[in-house]
Amino acid sequence: MPENPDAMFQIIPVLVICGFAAVLGIIIFTIFKNIAAWNKNNQQPVTEVLATIVAKRTSTHGGGNTRAYNHYYATFELESGERLELQVKGEEYGQQAEGDRGKLTYQGTRYLSYSRSV
């Protein structure tokens, strides 16, 4: 038995405060990280290049008792041979097919549009 039986009641508030501070710190870090990425993309020039869609994928988060969120990605191969994976809108994802060639417009890591060549 501990010498001071009230020690547990003294340490619980400290643990709760530490847990709250950790969660708050993670939230603040995530907000600053997203603002930094947004700002970096805004500083990049808008780029238009010919590109071919070489791969597509989806990522699903949530589900079960919560709402499921789908994220759609397309990998573009630029004329230079460089590959670039960008998150695309669901409506556009469904209209794109691997092997499509067209004009890709992007800014940093932000997808803006893709126009298929006929």
**Local confidence pLDDT in tens for the 118 residues of the chain:** 556 667 777 888 899 999 999 999 999 999 999 999 999 999 999 999 999 999 999 999 988 889 999 999 999 999 999 999 999 999 999 999 999 999 999 999 999 999 998 6
Whole-model pTM: value is: 0.75
Copy the structure tokens of residue 115. 């126009």
pLDDT at 2: 55
**What's the CA gap between 37 and 107, in Å, rounded?**
12
Q: If we measure between CA atoms, which residue out of 80, 21, 89 comes closest to residue 51?
A: 80
